[in-house]
Amino acid sequence: MKLQLYNDLSGNLEPFEPLEPGHVKFYTCGPTVYDYFHIGNARPFIVFDVLRRYLESKGLEVSFIQNFTDIDDKMIQRAEQMGITVRELAEKFISAYYEDADSLGIKRATYNPRATDEIASIIGLIQTLVDKGHAYPADGDVYFEVDTFPQYGKLSKQSLDDLRSGARVEVDERKRAPLDFALWKAQKPGEPAWESPWGMGRPGWHIECSAMAHHHLGDTIDIHGGGSDLMFPHHENEIAQSEAANGKLFARFWIHNEYLMIDREKMSKSIGNFFTVREVRAKYAAPVIRLFMLSAHYRSPINFSPETLDQAAHAHDRLRNGWAEIEFAMKTRPCDAVPCEPDAELREELRDALGLFDKCMQEDFNTAGAIGAVFDVIRATNVSLGHPGGIDYEIVKEAADFLRMVDEVMGIIQIGAGDRGDAETEEIESLIAEREDARRGKNFARSDEIRNILNERGIILEDTPQGTRWKRAQDGGK
């Protein structure tokens, strides 16, 4: 594989190979589980899901770790507002996360560690940093001393001097310098707390990712992902903690997705301009949302609006109907029934499109370009199927295999799953079978009735010499 990824650490496009042959260690920062996640949060989840699946489609094993932040200020405040414990709050929104992520077709991580289950490794890491002189306790807190890590700023391309002069002068007397950040926070009255060498307290936010990545993936990971808002200070702090403690490079490739925007602003909880995944899923099917997310390069902003979602719904209709046509032809026009001619034009177009798909995916994961190649395949194959007579079965099958692979990686067609659930597809097909029986028995009243029932549900029937096929009217693809 010749995958090139833009590495924010080097600022360059670099060839990607895992350190350990055949095995990719991939860590990505997950949600703080104090609320339902919104469609902006879904962008990194979908983008990294597709990158992971693409690596897997190339035969690589991927250990994919995404954490749940289940203890921090927001968790504590929200639990108090709701009159439940922090643990109950976490349980509620971890379940909701799985429901929503599953509903978007996001493959489950190899493992989702929770901060509160990893307290021992977090304390161990903080102790190492204290022992090595990179961290100091103060009044039950523990701080990382940024001055002891001269490369601080290497990811976000800021020098320590600039950072120092730009830092707010804090009144916090426990810190030796304003840039120092908390690794451990002493317990405040009523807060959940764990025993530690520095007294009762809880971890700071940044330390959990360093501890979990080390615990589940080892000293050096291949890819670390997250939204671009996490680059500073969160990811910079992860690097400082991990590299100061282990003396090894923490992550070889750092990749950050740009924001999902709404009305030219970042979609965010704090601004309040967000739609939850639940709200968006009530209107649009998973492959439509995925198609929308993948229609822009992950390092460019993407605009969320009814128009952009509707465009994705139309694109999905074209994919779905194009696929249905191919599937139907393969079932009804095999070479042994009708003479087949090799279709030289289709063969050439398909070869080009397949090459283009991989080329785009391998050039820093250009999903938008790759989706263009998928449409090329659908278009060329459908033109070929329009010719009378038998089909060039071998090459049509190759197109179908390619589309199945695309669907496995991107989840944008939803082959085989039925678009609104299996049950509905089965029901449609059983009504069509009943209508065919009625027609054979010359019961045209019943056959017209079934056609009307289906029409009302947005299902269009087409009677062909090979039998009846159906497609959905263009309706937003819900």
Q: 148, 244 in Cβ contact below 8 A?
A: yes
414 binding partner (options Zn ion, ligand AMP, none; Cβ < 5 to 8 Å by kind): none
Give the shortest CB-44-to-ligand AMP separation in angstroms.
Answer: 4
41 binding partner (options ligand AMP, Zn ion, none; Cβ < 5 to 8 Å by kind): ligand AMP
Q: 43, 293 in Cβ contact below 8 A?
A: yes
Give the shortest CB-77-to-ligand AMP separation in angstroms.
Answer: 15
| Candidates 133-141, 226-234, 247-255, 383-391; binding stretch for ligand AMP (CB under 6 A) | 226-234
| Candidates 51-59, 174-182, 221-229, 246-254; binding stretch for ligand AMP (CB under 6 A) | 221-229
Q: How does DSSP classify residue 441?
A: T
Main-chain phi, psi angles of 22, to 5 degrees? 80, -5
Beta bridge partners of 221: 251
* Pairing assessment for the beta strands 260-262 and 302-303 based on DSSP bridges: parallel
Footprint of ligand AMP on 146-165 (CB under 6 A)? none
40 binding partner (options ligand AMP, Zn ion, none; Cβ < 5 to 8 Å by kind): ligand AMP
Quickly list DSSP for 52-77. Answer: HHHHHHTT-EEEEEE-BB--SHHHHH
Tokens of 438: 């009625």
Q: Which is nearer to Zn ion, 206 or 320 (CB)?
A: 206
241 binding partner (options Zn ion, ligand AMP, none; Cβ < 5 to 8 Å by kind): none
Which residue in the shown chain puts its C-beta closest to ligand AMP? 227
Q: Which is nearer to Zn ion, 212 or 309 (CB)?
A: 212
Main-chain phi, psi angles of 272, to 5 degrees? 85, 10
Task: Report the alpha-carbon distance of residue 54 to residue 408 in Å, rounded.
Answer: 9
Task: Report the alpha-carbon distance of residue 313 to residue 275 in Å, rounded.
Answer: 18
Q: Which is nearer to ligand AMP, 32 or 63 (CB)?
A: 32
* Pairing assessment for the beta strands 141-144 and 265-266 based on DSSP bridges: unpaired
- Any contact of residue 227 with ligand AMP (CB under 6 A)? yes
Footprint of ligand AMP on 404-463 (CB under 6 A)? none
Binding-residue total with ligand AMP (CB under 6 A)? 17
Give the 3-state secondary structure of residue 283.
Answer: coil
Q: 330, 390 in Cβ contact below 8 A?
A: no
Q: Which is nearer to Zn ion, 235 or 451 (CB)?
A: 235
Beta bridge partners of 135: 144
Q: Which is nearer to ligand AMP, 250 or 259 (CB)?
A: 259
Dihedral Cα 325, 327, 328, 333, nearest 10 deg: 110
259 binding partner (options Zn ion, ligand AMP, none; Cβ < 5 to 8 Å by kind): ligand AMP
Q: Which is nearer to ligand AMP, 264 or 442 (CB)?
A: 264
Residues 5-44, one symbol each (x = binds ligand AMP by CB under 6 A, - = not), give ------------------------x-xx-------xx-xx
Q: How many CB atoms neighbour CB 183 within 10 A? A: 29
Exposure class string for 340-373: b at 16+ Cβ within 10 A, else e: beebeebbebbeebbebbbebbbbbbbbeebbeb
209 binding partner (options Zn ion, ligand AMP, none; Cβ < 5 to 8 Å by kind): Zn ion
Q: Which is nearer to ligand AMP, 42 or 163 (CB)?
A: 42
43 binding partner (options Zn ion, ligand AMP, none; Cβ < 5 to 8 Å by kind): ligand AMP
- Any contact of residue 233 with ligand AMP (CB under 6 A)? no
Q: Which is nearer to ligand AMP, 89 or 245 (CB)?
A: 89
- Any contact of residue 226 with ligand AMP (CB under 6 A)? yes
Find, among 108, 112, 114, the residue nearest to 49 by Cα.
108
Give the shortest CB-154-to-ligand AMP separation in angstroms.
Answer: 20
Footprint of ligand AMP on 259-318 (CB under 6 A)? 259-260, 266-268
Footprint of ligand AMP on 39-98 (CB under 6 A)? 40-41, 43-44
CA terminus-to-terminus distance, the chain: 36
Give the shortest CB-45-to-ligand AMP separation in angstroms.
Answer: 8
Find, among 457, 450, 453, the residue nearest to 432 by Cα.
450
Give the shortest CB-224-to-ligand AMP separation in angstroms.
Answer: 11
Q: How far is CA 5 from the centre of its chain?
A: 17
Question: Which residue ranges make up the site for Zn ion (CB under 5 A)?
Answer: 29, 209
Q: Which is nearer to ligand AMP, 7 or 41 (CB)?
A: 41
Q: 112, 98 in Cβ contact below 8 A?
A: no
Find, among 86, 69, 65, the residue nearest to 77 by Cα.
86
Q: Where do contacts with ligand AMP occur on this chain (CB under 6 A)?
A: 29, 31-32, 40-41, 43-44, 226-227, 229-230, 257, 259-260, 266-268
